[in-house]
Amino acid sequence: MMERRFQSYKSAVVRPFFRDHFARLDRQIVLVDALSALNAGPAALADLERALDSILVAFRVGRNSLMSALLRPRIEKVLFAATKADHLHRASHDRLEAILRRLVDRALARAREGGARIDVAALAAIRATREADVSKGGRSIAAIIGTPEAGQEAGGQVFDGSGEVALFPGALPADPDALFAATGAAFRGLASGPNSEADFRFLRFRPPAGIGATSPLPHIRLDRALQFLLGDRLK
């Protein structure tokens, strides 16, 4: 019965969605929640790598000819975007992008073979935090300030969703390959402090108060994403 229902789901939902929606696309953005995978550990990160490797297989990626552009467009540009960049200090954004690039290495190679343009970016469509330098033990530590969602926990404290906190979110490794080592060594010592290369504590934050129709939404690199995907169409 489960097999029959799965086949029906593919026939009634998946195939029509690809045929009626994706068949007309020539630009694609793939949102990747890399921070949640890092929180979950090496098995989750490896699973995410496999999933990203298989995503582009489902799409027709490559450079368009005049005929294909008119009849059956290929996806000429693909942006892999690591979400929740606001959950890190900007000093770690380059490292997050490097980890994402490592996650999609095989997908990138496959897309380039077809002539598609590929990019990666760390972004936040709505920025939920702000940055600050916090003094601790006579040292200045790069931190973020925001309101964690109710039920989030860090350092033994459970947040109620109402108050702001200053948080050192974690130091991503300078070498992304360390996260993919079979030993999983980069994931050990998770509570070893702000100097640890494996100090991952990525909380979920509430959007900032006061945003709405009368004020612009704070973001991180959303303009860069739009420029890559649509810039040539707006000239």
Residue 205 belongs to a domain: no
Residue 194, pLDDT score: 42
- What is the number of helices (H) and of strands (E) in the chain? 8, 8
Residue 191, pLDDT score: 38
The answer to whether 169 touches 89, Cβ cutoff 8 Å, is yes
Using only C-alpha atoms, the chain has a radius of gyration, in whole angstroms, of: 20
Residue 138 belongs to a domain: no
CA distance 176 to 186: 9
- Sequence-ordered alpha helix ranges (H) in 88-164: 93-103, 105-113
Residue 157, pLDDT score: 83
The stretches in the chain having pLDDT less than 50 are: 189-199
Nearest to 124 by CA among 72, 87, 166, 173: 87
CA distance 87 to 143: 10
Residue 152, pLDDT score: 85
Nearest to 56 by CA among 12, 118, 98, 14: 118
CA distance 112 to 98: 18
Residue 223 belongs to a domain: yes
The tokens describing 137, both together, are: 């033990």
Look up residue 121 and give its amino acid.
A
Collapse the DSSP code of 157 into the 3-class scheme (helix H, G, I; strand E, B; otherwise coil) and give the result. Answer: strand
Structural domain count, the chain: 1
Domain that holds residue 33: 2-126+216-233
Residues 47-80 have pLDDT tens digits of 999 888 887 776 767 665 655 555 567 788 889 9
Residue 28 belongs to a domain: yes
Residue 68, pLDDT score: 55
What DSSP state is assigned to residue 74? -
Residue 196 belongs to a domain: no
